[in-house]
Amino acid sequence: MSTLHSKAAATFCKDRQKTAWHDETFWALRQKRDAMMHMLPEWESLREHASAIKKHTLTHLADYLDMFSRQLESRGVIVHWAKDAAEFNDIVLKILQNHGVKKMVKSKSMLTEECEMNPFLISHGIDVVETDLGERILQLLHKKPSHIVVPASHLKREEIAACFEEKGISKEKGNQDPTYLTYCARKSLRQEFMEAGAGMTGCNFGVAKTGDIVVCTNEGNADMTTSMPKLHLVAMGIEKIIPDYASLAVFQRLLVRSATGQPTTGFTSHFRQARPGGEMHVILVDNGRSNTLADEDHWQTLKCIRCGACMNTCPVYRRSGGYSYTYFIPGPIGINLGMLADPRKYSDNVSACSLCLSCDNVCPAMVAPGSQVYVWRQTLERVGKADKLKKVMSEGMELLFDHPKLYTSMLHLAPLANLVPEAMTHYSNLNPWGLGHSKPVFAHKCFHELWKEGKVKK
Ligand code: SF4
């Protein structure tokens, strides 16, 4: 019954101290989010409003994309359309080559991770430098993000200090002070900003009515990325469109409160046109999103605003870490996005869910990622990925529940299980689910019998 996720999670959990620390770190984010939520009495209606805006926009997507692109073009912005990751990468490469760019700085964008843009550009001789602190640390360590909002939060300061020392970014041996390390990162990035021929940002929201690219960061790195080089590229998934400023106000109130429990992001920047003497390109990427829109069970994933709240609250994510998942986005929303990308390749992640549905409750856009995982589980048989042992067990349960007499006789036999030593049922490799649990004691009389005997208090 082991999946790739559960094997990776078992490795992660071997370091019990780090597992507990990881759990606490992300639970603290969830608590901060709760504190913010309680400060807004209208929180639940904001969520409903956000969900309705997304539904409306997604059901009129072509119209809003058209409005958005025309607004941008009216101000000289060059708009490109990429049907998939390969087309997106080619468009970016051509723009950079046409401008003779050898180095590009970029702010955080999960879309570029999805399209594997960095390795593609690097293989064509273009240096790509991440400017978000967490992303930069991971780039230096040759690692991937383990969370969509706080990508390097799984790393401890000792690990970051050692990396900075090794790369010559920090000069003071053994200095692990976060303020010092941030200072070192800033100093080294400053040089990269000066040398870069282009800057790329992602896009949190694209406002159709005005053609604004709205980027939210806490470090101001998107602003440095766009104010040093004269060439600005925007990587944007087509689902990021919202109708107008009134809609933006709703999402702005929800996004960062849900993500990090702050009342607002440090920087919210609106980009509408190129700087004087510069050039701005917006690349709108589909890469499977149109197919998702046509999927009546899972179109809601397109409402996601990538706040990461579903990860912070997820007991499986917190206790198994982001790298245990086989898709590059972990946690509840990652399970869904992986299944939409390739259900055969990423199906093992659907087991990484306790179906507690805490993610459904915190999600600001009411994506219901947990409920959708439940739906994906029903499709495993169809894609040839149902676990054989679980199938046998489910069929056995079905047989019992369909035959009440058989069910009752089995209940009478259940107390025999009390005779089997716990070491065999719970602390052996035969039952990986038993590890960490104690064996329940079966009652000698079942509920039905006690009820008939009048021994159950009403
Ligand atoms: S599914 Fe909801 S909670 Fe999870 S990242 Fe998306 S918007 Fe946030």
Question: pLDDT of 261-317, one tens digit each?
Answer: 999 999 999 999 999 999 999 999 999 999 999 999 999 999 999 999 999 999 999
Hey, CA dihedral for 451, 452, 454, 458, is it positive or negative?
A: positive
Place of tokens 């958005």: 68
Helical segments of 99-132, H only: 110-114, 117-123
SS3 78: strand
* Per-residue pLDDT at 353: 96
Given a cut of 70, the residues of the chain with pLDDT beneath it are 1-2, 432-433
What separation in Å is there between the alpha carbon of 227 and the centre of ligand 1? 30
| Tens-place pLDDT, residues 209-266 | 999 999 999 999 999 999 999 999 999 999 999 999 999 999 999 999 999 999 999 9
Residues contacting residue 279 through CB under 8 Å, at least 6 positions apart? 78, 99, 230, 231, 232
Ligand 1 contacts (CB < 6 A) are 304-310, 333, 362-365, 367, 369
Whose CA is closest to atom 7 on ligand 1? 304
**Torsion, Cα of 258, 325, 150, 118 (10° steps):** -130
pTM comes to: 0.90
Q: Which atom of ligand 1 is nearest to the CA of 311?
A: 4
